[in-house]
């Protein structure tokens, strides 16, 4: 397993030595100081600055969250549409917007997922034109948008010298962390609520990471992980590495802008769990505007939550600028965070951009999953179903201008329990033409859910 030895940990502009303990080989990666546009972490609340270490809270002043600070003037001199287009076919084409110090990143092909013009779904919803789905259900390597944040967090973890990485996860993050850690040769131990879907648990164990299934909800898992992070000094991608991790979500916004021909569309709908993805897509658009890659355009940001865990949607509905934590109880386990770290910032983005944050019931989420599958051939997980259901709700309530909408789905095919019992069964027939013909006739005349008996 590679152990990174830093001559002076977390300081830039110097040589990094990396030693492989198995093979005893040493490589030298020269940091490109001229390309580095990050210099500090900065508190989002009071502006206090910190060195670029594994730290996420403004512990000297106000306990606010820390964010990476960029030198945008320098950034605008380094990047252009052409340099990005000439880059790798992964999120690392946007590497200068990401908080890593070197080109020695973990590139497992994450990103550049399809942006699909969704004409059939648009028609079903009564939208007139230009509805796009950003399909992160095919993101690499574990089929969710979490690869974006993990690729960045673990690249930075390696630079900071961590040999063991971890996360507090609602499922997808555990999959990504385990898989990408395996690829990078990092030790991995993840924490999840014990009642997660079987597909998510299996899809983590397979990478030989240690899985701690905690008897409790995500918020309890998260509290435990904060203690472990302090005691063990591991790199928790969404705790002490959170300032780096969260920047990875910007790449989804970057890709949408690039795929739309270097422009922005008028409306985005995205799922909200901690609120990181939603706020960072917004930040990504702002950064592209700031460095001149796209023209400034007002984009409305709407957020999607499941009713059984919708603290941000509730605050939005009640016009509050603070989030009251709730106890999660929703089919959409992947976005069931009762005390979202970036909830107040999500509220800020919604109000700044004239967006909405809505919630939908479990039944609407299942309908959302089916609707996307039937119209666009995409089998999304519950987070995606939530997003589609909120889009439908906003259209029906007349809250969406039926033009230029980009829906960001959260993703993948690991929550089959959610739709079991709602999509019918195969028609079992004999290997005879008349058996097939009887079944076919019934299938054409009856609703499939009413037609589930076995044919013999």
Ligand X SMILES: Cc1ncc(COP(=O)(O)O)c(C=O)c1O
| Residue 61 binds Zn ion, judged by CB under 5 A | yes
User: 404 is written with which tokens?
Assistant: 């230029």
> Which sign does the torsion angle of CA 242, 57, 195, 407 carry?
negative
Kindly give the pairing relationship between strand 26-29 and strand 49-50.
Answer: unpaired
Query: What does the block give as tokens for 121?
Result: 């779904």
Find which of ligand X, Zn ion, none residue 64 binds, CB within 5 to 8 Å per kind: Zn ion
C-beta of 346: minimal distance to ligand X in Å? Answer: 8
* 64 touches Zn ion by CB under 5 A: yes
- 79 versus 272: smaller Cβ distance to ligand X: 272
Separation of alpha carbons 212 and 334, rounded Å: 17
Question: Per CB under 5 A, does 43 bind Zn ion?
Answer: yes
**Measured between alpha carbons, how far is 339 from 343 in angstroms, rounded to an integer?**
8
For residue 138, give Cα distances in angstroms to 306, 381, 399: 23, 12, 30
Residue nearer to Zn ion on the CB measure, 50 or 316: 50
For position 98 contacting Zn ion by CB under 5 A, the verdict is no
Nearer to Zn ion among residue 46 and residue 423 (C-beta): 46
Joined together, the tokens standing for residue 229 give 């992070």
> Do 145 and 278 form a contact (C-beta atoms < 8 A)?
no
Nearer to ligand X, 57 or 75 (CB): 57
Q: Which is nearer to Zn ion, 67 or 219 (CB)?
A: 67
Given 38, 52, 58, 419, the residue binding Zn ion (CB under 5 A): 58
Sheet order of strands, 164-168 included:
210-214, 187-193, 164-168, 235-236
Residue nearest to ligand X (CB): 410
- The answer to whether the CB of 415 falls within 8 A of the CB of 379 is no
Question: Which class for 87: exposed (0-12), middle (13-18), buried (19 or more C-beta within 10 A)?
Answer: middle
Whether 209 contacts 181, CB under 8 Å? yes
Residue 273 binds which entry of ligand X, Zn ion, none, CB below 5-8 Å type-dependent: ligand X
> Which tokens in the block code for residue 219?
């918020």
Which one of 5, 13, 21, 45 is in contact with Zn ion (CB under 5 A)?
45
Task: Report the C-alpha gap between 28 and 18 in whole angstroms.
Answer: 6
Beta carbon nearer to ligand X, 36 or 359: 359
Distance CA 121, CA 127 (A): 8
Report the residue number, 64 or 199, with the smaller CB distance to Zn ion.
64
- Minimal CA–CA distance to 211: which of 221, 201, 220, 219? 201
What's 266-330 look like in SS3?
CEEEEECCCCHHHHHHHHHHHHHHHCCCCCCCCCEEEEEEECCECHHHHHHHCCCCCCCCCCCCC
The least CB distance from residue 324 to ligand X, in Å, is 17
Of residues 209 and 380, the one with the C-beta less far from ligand X? 380
Quickly count: other Cβ atoms within 10 Å of residue 402's Cβ: 16
Report the nearest approach of Zn ion to the CB of residue 240 (Å): 16
- What DSSP string describes 103-119? S----SS-----EEE-H
CB 67 to Zn ion: min, Å: 11
Residue 223: CB partners within 8 Å, gap ≥ 6?
A: none
Q: Quick check: 46 binds Zn ion (CB under 5 A)?
A: yes
The one of Zn ion, ligand X, none whose footprint includes residue 271, by CB under 5 to 8 A per kind, is: ligand X
Taking contact as CB under 5 A, which single stretch among the options 35-43, 173-181, 204-212, 444-452 is the one that binds Zn ion? 35-43
Q: Rule CB under 5 A: is residue 48 a binding residue for Zn ion?
A: yes
Contacted by 359, from ligand X, Zn ion, none: CB < 5 to 8 Å by type: none
Smallest gap, in angstroms, from Cβ of residue 226 to ligand X?
A: 16
The piece of 56-64, 141-149, 326-334, 350-358 that touches Zn ion (CB under 5 A) is: 56-64
- Residue 386 binding target from ligand X, Zn ion, none, CB below 5 to 8 Å by type: none
Q: How far is the CB of 271 from ligand X (least distance, A)?
A: 4
By C-beta, is 240 or 409 nearer to Zn ion? 240
By C-beta, is 17 or 49 nearer to Zn ion? 49
Contact 384, 410 (CB under 8 A): yes
Assess 59 for contact with Zn ion (CB under 5 A).
no
101 vs 300 by CB, closer to ligand X: 300
* Minimum gap (Å) between residue 13 Cβ and ligand X: 32
The nearest distance, CB 239 to ligand X, in angstroms, is 13
Q: How many Cβ atoms from other residues are within 10 Å of residue 277's Cβ?
A: 30
**Residues near ligand X, by CB under 6 A:** 144-146, 170, 172-173, 271-278, 334-335, 381, 383, 410-411
Q: Which does 277 bind (CB under 5 to 8 A by kind): Zn ion, ligand X, none?
A: ligand X
> CB-hemisphere CA count at 13 Å for 172?
32
Tell me which of Zn ion, ligand X, none is bound by residue 343, counting a contact when its beta carbon lies within the kind-specific cut-off of 5 to 8 angstroms.
none
Residue 137 contact partner, candidates ligand X, Zn ion, none, CB within 5 to 8 A by sort of partner: none
Q: Which residues bind Zn ion (CB under 5 A)?
A: 43, 45-46, 48, 58, 61-62, 64
């Amino acid at each position: 397993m590679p152990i990174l030895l830093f001559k002076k940990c977390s300081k830039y502009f110097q040589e990094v030595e990396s030693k492989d303990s198995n093979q005893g080989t040493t490589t030298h990666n020269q940091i490109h100081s001229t390309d580095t546009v990050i210099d500090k972490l900065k508190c989002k609340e009071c502006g206090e600055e910190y060195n670029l270490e594994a730290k996420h809270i403004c512990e000297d002043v106000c306990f606010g969250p820390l964010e990476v600070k960029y030198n945008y003037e320098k950034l605008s001199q380094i990047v252009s549409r052409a340099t990005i287009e000439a880059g790798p076919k992964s999120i690392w084409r946007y590497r200068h917007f990401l908080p890593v110090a070197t080109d020695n990143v973990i590139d497992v092909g994450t990103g550049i997922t399809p942006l699909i013009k969704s004409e059939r779904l648009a028609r079903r919803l009564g939208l007139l034109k230009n509805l796009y789905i950003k399909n992160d259900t095919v993101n690499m390597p574990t089929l969710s948008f979490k690869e974006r944040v993990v690729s960045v967090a673990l690249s930075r973890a390696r630079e900071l010298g961590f040999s063991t990485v971890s996360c507090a996860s609602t499922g997808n993050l555990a999959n990504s962390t385990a898989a990408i850690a395996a690829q990078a040769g990092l030790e991995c131990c993840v924490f999840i609520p014990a009642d997660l879907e079987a597909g998510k648990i299996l899809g983590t164990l397979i990478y030989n990471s240690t899985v701690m299934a905690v008897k409790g909800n995500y918020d309890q898992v998260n509290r435990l992980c904060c203690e472990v992070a302090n005691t063990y000094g591991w790199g928790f991608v969404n705790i002490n590495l959170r300032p780096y991790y969260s920047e990875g979500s910007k790449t989804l916004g970057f890709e949408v802008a690039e795929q739309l021909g270097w422009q922005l569309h008028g409306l985005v709908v995205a799922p909200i769990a901690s609120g990181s993805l939603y706020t960072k897509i917004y930040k990504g658009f702002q950064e592209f505007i700031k460095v001149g890659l796209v023209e400034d355009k007002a984009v409305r940001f709407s957020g999607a939550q499941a009713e059984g865990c919708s603290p941000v949607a509730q605050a939005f509905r009640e016009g509050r600028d603070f989030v009251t934590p709730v106890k999660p109880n929703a089919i959409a386990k992947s976005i069931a965070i009762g005390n979202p770290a970036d909830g107040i910032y999500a509220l800020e983005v919604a109000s700044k951009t004239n967006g909405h944050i809505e919630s939908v019931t479990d039944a609407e989420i299942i309908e959302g999953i089916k609707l996307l599958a039937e119209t666009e051939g995409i089998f999304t997980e519950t987070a995606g179903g939530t997003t589609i259901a909120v889009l439908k709700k906003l259209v029906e309530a007349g809250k969406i201008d039926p033009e230029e909408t980009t829906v960001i789905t959260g993703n993948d095919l690991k929550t089959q329990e959610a739709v079991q019992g709602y999509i019918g069964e195969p028609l079992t027939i004999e290997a005879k033409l008349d058996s097939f013909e009887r079944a076919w006739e019934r299938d054409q005349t009856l609703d499939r859910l009413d037609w589930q008996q076995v044919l013999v």
